[in-house]
């Protein structure tokens, strides 16, 4: 398999994990390159449902190495819980010790980061971002302010001591006077770090440079993104975004292998759209159709349980995602969710309600989005169950027409079509690629 990046191409929850799990069959090494336990990734194998947050979605295979990369942030308590949950489903603790690796360069989400995330959200009131409150923003803030704690620091007492003297001096003032939270003693934080070290020690890859050299030489790599392009800190609906870079550019940085290691970028789109948290969503449907999408698609957050906002496929943002996300082909998921709809809409442009102007370029200032309404093209539904379709040819004509129309507008081939949550419910559209794109 060519070295492949899986990128969420909408607002997250596109079904990336299912596609990562599928493509992982052909990869030797799977690496998460950004984000933390804000992600909620579902993989269904033989009817058994696994939820991942930080662990790469390829972990269910024997003999594949899964890495939590340098670009990630790790809350060790969450990771411990996540491993525990998968172990309780029958995967052995030894499997994790053998197959899971953690970059020593990843940053640690401390308890004060989650506290600050929660406090900031409450303080922002109606302007809140709607974060997962997992401490993601505050951890990345400290990383870029050069006052973060990295995994490797937990294993060096002197470094940790020195760092904490500097960090806590400022952090405690911030906690007390900005956030009205309780400051922490150094002893307390050292104890927390000791516990984190014990949780992480079986997995930390101190030999990562040698290992990656070998992998780059003769192994195939799958880069797993979390969140989505429209939540990207630079290109998403800023400030209603996450604090990392889920695009293929983020993969080049966060997986420690650089841009030349990437041969192929699979953008994952849902056949409609969802969003959790606040921020503009131009094709959102606050009506019965939106409720039907939520009910049929089971659109509730894996991490927070929040109902997802639902709407029609937005071609304006999709074309933008293809552009800035560096997407070279598409996996389209949840096509089956549209099985019962009489008609299916796609926003092919936006109309500015103030000026009447029609645009196909994505307006990046999210505060102007209230001025836009979608211009829809309507497609007839296929009104039949497609969950058992195994090949492209078995799909009903109207479904094929819908896919062709999307493909034409996106100017990128749809090579994978997902018609159900299970690994098996996947159509490889070899006509679009020339051969099996896995
Ligand atoms: P991710 O965060 O992008 O990995 O996506 P999530 O796991 O948060 O949400 C996707 C949901 O849709 C999960 O419950 C998946 O099991 C489910 N899913 C994935 N692909 C399909 C599909 O083609 N059809 C249906 N009905 N469900 C799917
Ligand atoms: P996966 O990987 C959907 C959203 C939050 C919030 C914003 C910022 O499952 O697709 P954060 O906690 O990251 O600071 O929150 O981003 N968000 C997600 N939405 N899927 C996700 O992950 C998300 N991770 C974060 O709801 O709006
Ligand atoms: Mg998710």
Class of residue 120 by CB neighbours under 10 A (exposed 0-12, middle 13-18, buried 19+):
middle
**Cα(350) to centroid(ligand 1), Å:** 28
Distant-in-sequence, close-in-space partners of 303: CB < 8 Å, separation ≥ 6: 37, 38, 39, 40, 53, 132, 134
Question: Quick one: which ligand is closest to 12's CA?
Answer: 2
Other beta carbons within 10 Å of 95: 18
pLDDT band at 435 (very low <50, low <70, confident <90, very high): very low
78 lines ligand 1 (CB under 6 A): no
Give the pLDDT score at 199. 98
Q: Atom 13 (ligand 2): residue with closest C-alpha?
A: 242
Closest ligand 2 atom, residue 13 Cα: 10
420 lines ligand 1 (CB under 6 A): yes
Give the pLDDT score at 431. 61
Question: Quick one: which ligand is closest to 14's CA?
Answer: 1
332 lines ligand 2 (CB under 6 A): no
3-state secondary structure 348-379: EEEEECCCCCEECCCCCCHHHHHHEEEEEEEE
Does residue 168 sit in the same domain as residue 185? yes
Rounded Cα–Cα distance for residues 21 and 294 (Å): 24
From the centroid of its chain, how far is CA 189?
A: 30
Residues in the chain: 438
Question: Quick one: which ligand is closest to 308's CA?
Answer: 2
Testing ligand 2's pocket by substitution, the residue of 12, 57, 113, 140 carrying the most ligand atoms inside 8 A of its CB is 12
Q: Tokens 């390159």 appear where?
A: 33
Mean pLDDT of the chain: 96
Whether pLDDT at 432 is above 90: no
380: tokens are 């007839």
20 lines ligand 1 (CB under 6 A): no
Does residue 305 sit in the same domain as residue 413? yes
129 lines ligand 2 (CB under 6 A): yes
Q: Is the Cβ–Cβ distance between 345 and 373 less than 8 Å?
A: no
Does residue 91 sit in the same domain as residue 159? no
CATH code of 178's domain: 1.10.300.10
Rounded Cα–Cα distance for residues 295 and 300 (Å): 9
pLDDT band at 433 (very low <50, low <70, confident <90, very high): low
242 lines ligand 2 (CB under 6 A): yes
- Name the phi and psi angles at 6, rounded to 5: -105, 120
Q: pLDDT tens digits, residue range 217-256?
A: 999 999 999 999 999 999 999 999 999 999 999 999 999 9
**Cα(45) to centroid(ligand 1), Å:** 12
**Cα(39) to centroid(ligand 2), Å:** 6
Q: pLDDT tens digits, residue range 202-214?
A: 999 999 999 999 9
Q: What is the reported pTM?
A: 0.96
What domain count does the chain have? 2
329 beta partners: 266
Domain that holds residue 144: 107-200
39 lines ligand 2 (CB under 6 A): yes
Average pLDDT for 54-58: 96
Name the residue among 244, 307, 238, 239 with its Cα closest to residue 7: 244
Does residue 297 sit in the same domain as residue 177? no
**Cα(242) to centroid(ligand 2), Å:** 6
CATH code of 388's domain: 3.90.170.10
Q: Exactly one of 21, 41, 205, 336 is catalytic; which is it?
A: 41
**Cα(40) to centroid(ligand 2), Å:** 9
219: tokens are 């192994």
Q: Exactly one of 13, 21, 142, 314 is catalytic; which is it?
A: 13
277 lines ligand 2 (CB under 6 A): yes
Does residue 287 sit in the same domain as residue 430? yes
Does residue 168 sit in the same domain as residue 273? no
Average pLDDT for 11-39: 97
- Tell me which of 29 and 301 has the higher pLDDT: 29
14 lines ligand 1 (CB under 6 A): yes
Does residue 113 sit in the same domain as residue 96? no
Q: Atom 11 (ligand 2): residue with closest C-alpha?
A: 131
Testing ligand 2's pocket by substitution, the residue of 17, 18, 38, 274 carrying the most ligand atoms inside 8 A of its CB is 38
Does residue 73 sit in the same domain as residue 116? no
Residue 13 annotated to the active site: yes
pLDDT band at 387 (very low <50, low <70, confident <90, very high): very high
Name the residue among 339, 340, 321, 341 with its Cα closest to residue 330: 321
Whether pLDDT at 392 is above 70: yes
Rounded Cα–Cα distance for residues 387 and 294 (Å): 18
- Residue where a domain stops, chosen among 200, 220, 254: 200
What percentage of the chain reaches a pLDDT higher than 90?
96
Does residue 176 sit in the same domain as residue 261? no
Give the pLDDT score at 62. 93
**E strands within 250-336?**
264-270, 273-275, 309-311, 313-314, 329-333
Average pLDDT for 275-284: 96
- Residue where a domain stops, chosen among 182, 200, 218: 200
From the centroid of its chain, how far is CA 45?
A: 20
Does residue 144 sit in the same domain as residue 244? no
Q: Please, what is the angle between helix 136-144 and helix 111-124, to 10°?
A: 110
Residue 234 annotated to the active site: no
Other beta carbons within 10 Å of 101: 22
Q: Is the Cβ–Cβ distance between 8 and 16 less than 8 Å?
A: yes
Q: Atom 14 (ligand 1): residue with closest C-alpha?
A: 42
Rounded Cα–Cα distance for residues 237 and 363 (Å): 9
- Residue where a domain stops, chosen among 177, 200, 223: 200
Q: pLDDT tens digits, residue range 281-330?
A: 999 999 999 999 999 999 998 888 889 999 999 999 999 999 999 999 99
Does residue 37 sit in the same domain as residue 151? no
Closest ligand 1 atom, residue 226 Cα: 2
Angle at 233 between CA 375 and CA 44, to 5 degrees: 80
Q: pLDDT tens digits, residue range 406-426?
A: 999 999 999 999 999 999 999
H or E stretch covering 321:
helix 315-325
Does residue 124 sit in the same domain as residue 254? no
246 lines ligand 1 (CB under 6 A): no
């Amino acid at each position: 398999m060519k070295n492949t990046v899986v990128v969420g191409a909408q607002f997250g929850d596109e079904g990336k994990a299912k596609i990562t799990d599928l493509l992982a069959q052909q990869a030797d090494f799977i690496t998460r390159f950004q984000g933390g336990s804000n992600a909620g990734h579902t993989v269904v194998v033989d009817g058994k449902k696994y939820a991942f947050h930080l662990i790469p979605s390829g972990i269910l295979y024997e003999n594949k190495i899964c890495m939590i990369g340098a670009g990630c942030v790790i809350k060790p308590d969450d990771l411990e819980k996540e491993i525990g949950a998968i172990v309780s489903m029958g995967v052995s603790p030894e499997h994790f010790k053998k197959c899971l690796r953690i970059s020593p360069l990843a940053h640690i989400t401390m308890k004060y980061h989650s506290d600050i995330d929660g406090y900031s959200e409450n303080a922002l009131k109606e302007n809140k971002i709607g974060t997962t409150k997992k401490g993601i923003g505050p951890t990345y803030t400290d990383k870029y302010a050069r006052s973060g704690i990295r995994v490797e620091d937990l294993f060096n007492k002197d470094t940790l001591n020195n760092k904490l003297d500097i960090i806590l001096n400022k952090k405690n003032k911030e906690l007390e006077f900005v956030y009205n939270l309780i400051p922490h003693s150094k002893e307390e934080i050292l104890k927390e770090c000791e516990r984190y070290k014990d949780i992480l020690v079986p997995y930390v890859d101190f030999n990562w440079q040698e290992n990656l050299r070998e992998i780059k030489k003769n192994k195939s790599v799958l880069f797993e993104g979390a969140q989505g392009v429209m939540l990207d800190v630079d290109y998403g609906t800023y400030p209603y975004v996450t604090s990392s870079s889920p695009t293929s550019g983020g993969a080049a940085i966060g997986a420690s292998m650089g841009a030349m290691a990437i041969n192929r970028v699979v953008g994952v789109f849902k056949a409609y759209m969802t969003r959790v948290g606040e921020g503009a969503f131009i094709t959102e449907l606050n009506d019965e159709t939106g409720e039907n999408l939520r009910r049929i698609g089971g659109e509730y957050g894996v991490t927070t349980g929040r109902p997802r906002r639902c709407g029609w496929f937005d071609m304006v943002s999709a074309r933008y995602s293809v552009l800035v996300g560096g997407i070279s082909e598409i996996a389209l998921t949840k096509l089956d969710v549209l099985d019962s709809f009489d008609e299916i809409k796609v926003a092919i442009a936006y109309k500015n309600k103030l000026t009447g102007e029609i645009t196909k370029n994505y307006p990046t200032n999210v505060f102007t989005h209230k001025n836009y309404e979608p211009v829809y093209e309507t497609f007839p539904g296929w009104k039949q169950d497609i969950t058992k379709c195994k090949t492209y040819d078995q799909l009903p004509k109207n479904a094929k027409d819908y896919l062709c129309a999307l493909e034409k507008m996106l100017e990128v081939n749809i090579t994978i079509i997902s018609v159900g949550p299970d690994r098996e419910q996947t159509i490889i559209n070899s006509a679009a690629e020339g051969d099996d794109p896995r």
